[in-house]
Amino acid sequence: MEQNLNHYKIFYEAAKTGNISKAAETLYISQPAVSKSITKLEQSLGQTLFIRSKRGVKLTAEGTTLYTYLKQAFESIDTAEKALRHASELGMGQLRIGVSTSLCKHILLSYLQDFIRENPHVKITIECNPTFETIQLLKQDKIDIGLICDTPLEKGYHFSPLRSIQDTFVTTQTYLDNLQVREGELADNNSNLKDNVKENTYHTSHNIPMAGLFFFSDTKNQVFSHIDLSSEEILEKCNLMLLDKENISRIFIDECLKAHQIHPGQILEINNMDLLIDFAAIGMGVACVVREFVTSYIENGQVIELPMDFDIPKRTIGFIYAEHNLNSTAKKFLDYCDTQHL
């Protein structure tokens, strides 16, 4: 818009009242100020907008055209202001949240429940994606805030801590017992192999020596022993169930295992932590999960925590957002979450 909006407002009032003096009274400015503003507008547009007389002002054809469009514009502005006031009174607004499926189910829902009860007119949309995709959605302005585990962010983005979580390894007692027995059998077999090997040299019909043929004693009725494995040995020998490699939780656990020189022999990758919990509960192996997500399973005896010989550091989850692009509804939700102790 090339012209000062104030000039259009003055013109609009003068055209509506048909009188310079009345327009001045309505706008709380002097009559000369109204006349000067209209003259400037006419000069800048190159059009005569009013026919002036002692009885007042009358619109020219060009002035009528301008007035018609300005009337629609100012009425639209008035309607918009009323809509905003109405929305503010009702607590209306829009909130777009990015979050992983597990964090949504186990963390976010508890905060949303009471917030929605107190703010029933807020339109909330949820985008469930892994952490790195959530960050990309925030950069693309497709979400207002994201709930993630703490991770390095680019300049201009803020991380607001919400609570801490603890990773743990869970399985069933039956799976753990069977693993101990299985490893005991392997240990017994290796011992028997050494005790019962009889190296002999045989000759074929061509008198070519054949070394390395072994004879074994009968082990059919042998009772195999149960051995106690350390947590490191269990993680290396079990069917270890983890999230996929691109997941931020998997990256964290991989670094933790590497730091303690633990090299799992078999890994089953799953892209959903709730499935990890369920697979552990039916005895498929040992799963790395968030303790806060599996509490009910532990309490009712569906799974047990694997006693660890080393500490797994706690992690922090919180909300990320663009520092200079936070709407009032998102800010209201963040302020609400800060006051909750769930």
Question: Which CATH code fits 5-89?
Answer: 1.10.10.10
d(CA 337, CA 342): 9
Bridging pattern class, strands 145-149 and 122-128: unpaired
5-89 against 168-195+228-313: fold identical? no
Asked whether residue 140 carries a pLDDT value surpassing 70, the answer given is yes
Asked whether residue 106 carries a pLDDT value surpassing 50, the answer given is yes
Of the candidates 219, 228, 220, which has an alpha carbon nearest to the alpha carbon of residue 191? 219
Matching residue, tokens 């200079």: 324
- Summarised one tens digit per residue, pLDDT across range 70-84 is 999 988 888 887 777
Instruction: List 318's β-bridge partners, or say none.
Output: 148, 161
Matching residue, tokens 């498929």: 284
- Summarised one tens digit per residue, pLDDT across range 276-310 is 999 999 999 999 999 999 999 999 999 999 999 89
CA dist list (Å): 11 to 24, 25, 46, 73, 306: 11, 14, 15, 13, 79
- Summarised one tens digit per residue, pLDDT across range 222-258 is 343 445 889 999 999 999 999 999 999 999 999 999 9
Of the candidates 166, 146, 170, 169, which has an alpha carbon nearest to the alpha carbon of residue 158? 146
Query: CATH class for domain 168-195+228-313?
Result: alpha beta
Instruction: List 158's β-bridge partners, or say none.
Output: 321
Contact between 202 and 215 (Cβ < 8 Å)? no
Domain locations in the chain as residue ranges: 5-89, 91-164+316-339, 168-195+228-313
Pick the CATH number of 91-164+316-339 from 2.40.30.40, 3.40.190.10, 3.90.1210.10, 3.10.620.30: 3.40.190.10
Eight-class DSSP state of 12: H
Q: Which amino acid is at 30?
A: S
